[in-house]
Structure 1
Amino acid sequence: MTDLEELGKKLTTEGPHKVEGTPRRVRGLLGGGYVFDTTAARYVWEHPYYPYFYIPKTAFEKGALEKLDSSTKSYWLAKLSIAGKSTDRVLVFEDAGPLKDLVRIEVSALGLKSTHFTFSASNEGLDGWFVEDEKLLGTHPKDPYKRVECIPSSREIRIEVDGVVLAKSSQNIFLFETMLRPRYYLATTSVNWEFLSESKTTSYCPYKGMANYYNIKVNGKKIDDAIWYYRYPTAESALIAGRLCFYNEKADVFVDGVKEEK
């Protein structure tokens, strides 16, 4: 629980990066039941990268939150229980400025690899978030200020590792995501499959869906999880379905012959 205590201390001394209200209906699923159902959730940016939902204490059933640690007046660790299932990945804020009377609950990250920055990789937490009637993917909600664009492009993309060409394509989908570098999704027929092997890794992105991965092996060197793809992406990212994306940071990527920085 040390990481939660450190987060509580950081947020109560330095404050969050930003806090905003949202009119969205937010529900949390745990053990087959909803532990809260509210239209008064707050977006809290613990850091600049993405927000997290914080829930008012009044949105929970009486007695659902059990205090585990009350060593500070500003926040305490808690256990949340419903229908025979519980999680102790809970922070409750008492007197902490903009976080006063708000509750932070983690979402389970069991078996997931995050494609974004994360504070923790807890395997126990909420079973899922629902915003209105949509179940969110990943461990944090979508940023209301973030946009994903999928645009077809005939600019040539060439992928190399150690000078070996792994893929070459001029029929691509360029994915532009606010605050992140562009990613290039190539057709499966443009890839040299002899260098690829399946990975067991999966990850969830709130904006794109569940990703699967491939490893690369070139000249005896193996690069794990160097390629990802989405079998069934979200509606906003539908154009990338089935296409392969090479990690710019793990391979040499050339756009119209110009090598990108890693």
Structure 2
Amino acid sequence: MDQPVPIAPGPGQESVWDYPRPPRLETTPKRLVVEHGGRIVGDTTRGLRVTETSQAPAYYLPEADIDLGLLRTATTRSFCEWKGTASYADLVVEPGDGPAVVARAAAWTYLHPVEAFAALVGHWSFFPQAVDRCLVDDEVVTPMEGGVYGGWVTPDIVGPIKGGPGTAYW
């Protein structure tokens, strides 16, 4: 298996290869915005960020700054060895003049995370690949490759970033 060669970060950039394993949870003052179906789903400057080696950061918005009426409980669950079991929600935007715009299992939360990630309770993250647009400080987010990870790729991080073909065992 080929091992990745980290890209050296430039001024104002971070390398995903400098992120820790196990992952780290931290607050972020950056403005986080999620848009879908012509609506602002969430908008906050009180978010959380999880960083983990080789992955783009996952940003979590507090429930107080999300239009929770757009989330519908999904049956999807996943398990993270570091955070615990994630519960998912579909994002359903009903424009009023047409059919609902639905993004299946587009958001996730940890209802009962492990102690080190207890601050995630009451916060949701969104898959950039499932919604119309995510922004970090007005920078449009690029989704991670592959669809398994929900990291938010912005110009201030460099990789290579896990998710694409051949990266499963990084």
Give the Å deviation of 1:209: 0.2
Q: Which residue of 2 aligns with 1:261?
A: 142
Counterpart amino acid of residue 102 in structure 2: K
Q: Describe the superposition over 1:100-138 as per-residue Cα deviations: whole angstroms up to 9, x where unpaired.
A: xxxxxxxxxxxxxxxxxxxxxxxxxxxxxxxxxxxxxxx
Select which of 205, 226, 237 maps to 2:106: 226
Which has the higher Rg, Structure 1 or Structure 2?
A: 1
Are the counterparts in 2 of residues 148 and 237 from structure 1 also a CA contact under 8 Å? no
Gaps of 5+ in 2: 4-19, 144-170
**Distance in 2 of aligned mates of 1:231 and 1:147:** 20
Q: Which residue of 2 aligns with 1:235?
A: 115
1:131-210 to 2 correspondence within 5 Å?
Answer: 146-210=21-85
**Distance in 1 of aligned mates of 2:119 and 2:135:** 22
Give the Å deviation of 1:239: 2.1
Are the counterparts in 2 of residues 148 and 236 from structure 1 also a CA contact under 8 Å? no
Counterpart amino acid of residue 141 in structure 2: E
1:20-39 to 2 correspondence within 5 Å?
Answer: none
Gaps of 5+ in 1: 1-16, 18-46, 49-144
Give the Å deviation of 1:172: 0.8
Q: Describe the superposition over 1:168-217 as per-residue Cα deviations: whole angstroms up to 9, x where unpaired.
A: 01101111111111111111111112221111111111011011111011
**Distance in 2 of aligned mates of 1:156 and 1:215:** 23
**Distance in 1 of aligned mates of 2:106 and 2:24:** 22
TM-score, L = length of structure 1 = 0.44
**Distance in 1 of aligned mates of 2:129 and 2:82:** 21
Give the Å deviation of 1:231: 1.1
Higher relative contact order (CA 8 A, sep 6+): 2
Provide runs of 4+ in structure 1 moved above 3 Å. none
What count of residue pairs does the alignment treat as equivalent?
A: 122
- Secondary structure of the residue that 2:56 maps to in structure 1? coil
Are the counterparts in 2 of residues 166 and 191 from structure 1 also a CA contact under 8 Å? yes
The answer as to 2:128 corresponding to 1:248 is yes
Are the counterparts in 1 of residues 74 and 89 from structure 2 also a CA contact under 8 Å? yes
**Distance in 1 of aligned mates of 2:59 and 2:107:** 11
TM-score, L = length of structure 2 = 0.66
Q: What is the CA RMSD across the aligned residues, in angstroms?
A: 2.0
